Chain A
Amino acid sequence: MANSATTDALPRSSPPGDGESLAELAARHGLTVSGARPGLGAYVKQLWQRRHFIVAFANAKTRASYSDARLGQVWQILTPLLNAAIYYLIFGLMLKTNRGVPNFIAFLVTGIFVFGFTQSAVLAGTRSISGQLNLIRALHFPRASLPISFTIVQLQQLLISMIVLCGIVLAKGEPLTLKWLLVVPVLMLQFVFNIGLSMIVARFGAVVTDINQLMPFILRTWLYTSGVFYSIDNFTKDAPAWVRHALDLNPIAVYIELVRDSLIESHSGVPTWTWGVAAAWALVIGVGGFIYFWRAEERYGRG
């Protein structure tokens, strides 16, 4: 340990002369503040330059997630299959309920998978900053790469789930039509929505760590109000108008309805304005979430 006697005799580098402050010295030499938040345009550009990293990181995460299971990547298909099997067992064989919905199994599984996409994106997004502090404190990259990357992981899982879903829908006797192609734009809109949402919860989760504990409850409430297990139309026949509108405008319900509309013939006839709502949610949450996340860019390392 050093004591104060030796300290006085130790060398100290003289401050730059002439009473010039350090800030002035820095300005005179054109130095910039380290770790300052870039402008929005510059940030988007940086993010674009990192696109290969974002995709590589997502692929790596997907690969790594099943690596300790003996069946490995097969679980990516098995997981949605088992999910669908459980719901078939409970609702199709045991309860024999259809709650007034034709082809209830296809209806239900579509809802589960589409909801699951947003659900897992939000859960992963919540931890995308707080769980990656080591990475953030070691390397430079636009932090938005992380929530985007984690959402891409969920997109990859969803695409496999969709293949399983298409199989189930076909097996339940739905015809294969050109309308199925509409699933692609719906999921793209939902993807943008999910990215925005996961950026919002990522910023929350970076500061308020308690949100990790709270999130499952919020998501479960959302699940029960999104018409996954029941048809919102049947359910709200006698409800006040504002309840009906609120449930109809729920973004996940909108995405679920549109996918059902495309895949299940008996469930077609969703009003055209639903597409407007779906696009509006993607735009508002996508852009808004991105800007909200960017505004705290320089603070994420602090944890």
Chain B
Amino acid sequence: MADTAVADGAATTEKVAESAPTVVVDDVHLVYRVHGAGAGKGSATSALSRIVARKKATGITEVHAVKGVSFVAYRGEAIGLIGRNGSGKSTLLRCVAGLLPPTRGKIYTDGQPSLLGVNAAMMNELTGERNIILGCLAMGMSQEEAQTRYTEIAEFSGLEKMSPGILSRPMRTYSSGQGARLRFSIAAAKTHDVLMIDEALATGDREFQLRSEARIRELRAQAGSVFLVSHSMKSIRDTCDRVIWLHDGTILADGPTDEVVAAYEKGR
């Protein structure tokens, strides 16, 4: 494993053999500041009396989502992030991707890590066709690239085969499964240096699930490192060779998949 290579990496000759790190997370903290939460904010009078009494900002609640996490990911590793709901997995992923700046600590990366997913850029009022182009552009493709990828994406989604003409209808008319198919097809059209996958992406019927799993394997093969957040221990076992167990914003365990997953399943 990469760790052993690093341990004796002091001699210059051996540095060549040392596996290169792709992501270095150095003591990262993340604090969300939530406005409008907490007690006493309910009515206008209580809010006013608080201002008059100069009580300090009870309306702001701080949520310490990630508390001092450090780890190093090496080229070729597929790392699973597991833990209960609210343990900071998705937040940590967003920090590594550079989308959410850490409150304290630093994250160093080789290339630009990106989350797999374009849901946020898509608009339900627009047709499937327009959403494909918009999604591609949002992921950073050029106009020409988006045009050339269009057919590929439409074909992969298999929507036209199911119901012809569907791509020229607004996405709000799609069933949830059809929408999920299209979103995955767009998201998976781009390759990434550091690929980050948050939760179950492969949705849809059995046939589409198989196809999307195959596509994720392809993407993984092309990526330098892969991070996967999932509650499905099966997909963690299938995909990852290393697992980080987060609990309440800190790392509880970090090691080979079998050991950590076994402990996790026993522990909860």
B255 contacts A301, CB within 8 Å?
A: no
Closest chain-B Cβ to A28's Cβ sits at a distance in Å of 9
A12 contacts B125, CB within 8 Å?
A: no
Of the listed stretches A30-38, A89-97, A183-191, chain B binds A30-38
B72 contacts A139, CB within 8 Å?
A: no
A29 contacts B21, CB within 8 Å?
A: yes
Q: List 5 A-B contacts (CB under 8 A).
A: A21-B26, A22-B26, A23-B106, A52-B143, A68-B125
Chain A residues closer than 8 Å to B133, beta-carbon distance: 56
> Contact check: which of A34, A63, A138 meets B121 at CB < 8 Å?
A138
Chain A residues closer than 8 Å to B112, beta-carbon distance: 140
Chain A residues closer than 8 Å to B253, beta-carbon distance: 7, 10-12
A17 contacts B7, CB within 8 Å?
A: yes
- Return the chain A residue nearest B119 by Cβ: A138
A137 contacts B94, CB within 8 Å?
A: yes
Closest chain-A Cβ to B258's Cβ sits at a distance in Å of 10
A18 to B95, CA, bound (A): 27
Name, among A11, A13, A18, A64, the residue most crowded by chain B CB atoms within 10 Å (CB to CB): A13
A25 to B26, CA, bound (A): 10
B260 lies within 8 A of chain A by Cβ? yes
- A residues within 8 Å of B by Cβ? 1-3, 6-7, 9-18, 21-23, 25-27, 29-36, 49-50, 52-53, 56-57, 60-61, 63-64, 67-68, 134-141, 209, 298-299, 301-303
User: With A53-B138, A138-B115 as given contacts, are A299 and B110 in contact (CB-CB < 8 Å)?
Assistant: no
B140 contacts A140, CB within 8 Å?
A: yes
Of the listed stretches B96-104, B208-216, B227-235, chain A binds B96-104
- Return the chain A residue nearest B145 by Cβ: A52
A285 to B107, CA, bound (A): 34
Closest chain-B Cβ to A223's Cβ sits at a distance in Å of 27
B1-29 with Cβ < 8 A to chain A: 3, 6-10, 20-27
A302 to B62, CA, bound (A): 12
User: With A26-B24, A57-B134, A141-B138 as given contacts, are A11 and B259 in contact (CB-CB < 8 Å)?
Assistant: yes
> Contact check: which of B72, B97, B251 meets A25 at CB < 8 Å?
B72
B123 lies within 8 A of chain A by Cβ? yes
- Return the chain B residue nearest A145 by Cβ: B138
A26 contacts B108, CB within 8 Å?
A: yes
B252 lies within 8 A of chain A by Cβ? yes
Name, among A14, A21, A137, A138, the residue most crowded by chain B CB atoms within 10 Å (CB to CB): A138
- Return the chain B residue nearest A18 by Cβ: B10
User: With A26-B26, A138-B120, A140-B98 as given contacts, are A12 and B10 in contact (CB-CB < 8 Å)?
Assistant: no
Pairs of residues from A and B, 8 with the lowest C-beta to C-beta distance, nearest first: A35-B98, A11-B255, A26-B108, A10-B253, A31-B108, A64-B125, A2-B267, A34-B98
User: With A17-B8, A57-B134 as given contacts, are A6 and B267 in contact (CB-CB < 8 Å)?
Assistant: yes
B263 contacts A1, CB within 8 Å?
A: no
A22 contacts B100, CB within 8 Å?
A: no
A301 contacts B108, CB within 8 Å?
A: no
B35 contacts A35, CB within 8 Å?
A: no
Chain B residues closer than 8 Å to A3, beta-carbon distance: 267
B268 lies within 8 A of chain A by Cβ? yes
B76 lies within 8 A of chain A by Cβ? no
- Return the chain B residue nearest A1 by Cβ: B268
Chain A residues closer than 8 Å to B266, beta-carbon distance: 6
A17 contacts B119, CB within 8 Å?
A: no
Chain B residues closer than 8 Å to A26, beta-carbon distance: 21, 24, 26, 106, 108
Beta-carbon contacts of B244-259 to A below 8 Å, as 1s and 0s?
0101000111111001
Chain A residues closer than 8 Å to B23, beta-carbon distance: 31, 34
- Return the chain B residue nearest A54 by Cβ: B137
> Contact check: which of B7, B101, B126, B264 meets A14 at CB < 8 Å?
B7
Chain B residues closer than 8 Å to A32, beta-carbon distance: 108-110
Chain A residues closer than 8 Å to B263, beta-carbon distance: 2, 6, 9-10
Closest chain-A Cβ to B201's Cβ sits at a distance in Å of 13
Chain B residues closer than 8 Å to A1, beta-carbon distance: 267-268
B41 lies within 8 A of chain A by Cβ? no
User: With A6-B263, A11-B255 as given contacts, are A23 and B125 in contact (CB-CB < 8 Å)?
Assistant: no
